Amino acid sequence: MILTFTEGFFLGAGLIIAIGAQNAFVLRQGLLRSNVFIICLICAVSDALLIVIGIAGIGALIEQNAGLLKIVAFAGAAFLLGYALIAAKNAFYPKPMAIQSDKALALKPAIATVLAFTFLNPHVYLDTVVLIGSISAQHMGFQRVAFGAGAVLASFVWFFALGYGARWLAPLFAKAIAWQILDMFIALVMMALAFSLIWRFSA
């Protein structure tokens, strides 16, 4: 049981700990110390919900529905490109964190943004619902539950560590150039993800 739990934890961690739109947004909110708890909680609970759905057997069904994945892929690509343009614009007009924090997203827009990053990203479904769901099929009964619990715990640990750990970088991001580099990096990541989705699902 413990080994199965550990297997799920490290698989979940390996899939989640990657530079992507969702993680970049959590990092930014953490640096601004803006709605950190609710943003981290939404990310972790959303992952947990998708993992449970995948383990329940929906992963195999979605994997066979190419049309649904394509629709989600293009919607996600459009959203990522839009956010990439915003990040690129911010990179050309960088401001120190003391000023930037005054313009941090309010709670409702922040929630809407993180939900879009989460549920408009096809990779989230591929990683949680399809991949974790498929691998969990190797286990039965409580072993499968332990596997899923490990993956869920990895999500909670990662997002809260990222959100609250970002504040240690606050002195660095008191300089405008640091925000400029971060925003440009985010813009490039967003565009790369968007074009990879378009290329992958346009065939």
- pLDDT of the residue at 101: 47
- pLDDT of the residue at 88: 85
What's the angle, vertex CA 91, arms to CA 89 and CA 93, rounded to 5? 75
For the stretch 156-168, pLDDT in tens is 999 999 899 988 8
Residues written for the chain: 203
Amino acid making up residue 110:
A
For the stretch 4-46, pLDDT in tens is 888 888 877 766 766 577 888 898 889 888 899 999 999 999 9
- pLDDT of the residue at 63: 55
What's the angle, vertex CA 178, arms to CA 177 and CA 182, rounded to 5? 115
For the stretch 109-155, pLDDT in tens is 999 999 998 888 777 887 788 777 767 766 777 888 898 899 999 99
CA distances from 19 to 26, 68, 141 (A): 11, 25, 33
- pLDDT of the residue at 47: 92
Coil vs helix vs strand at 100: helix
| Distinct helix (H) and strand (E) counts, the chain | 11, 0
Q: What is the pTM of this model?
A: 0.70
Q: Torsions phi, psi of 121, nearest 5?
A: -105, 105
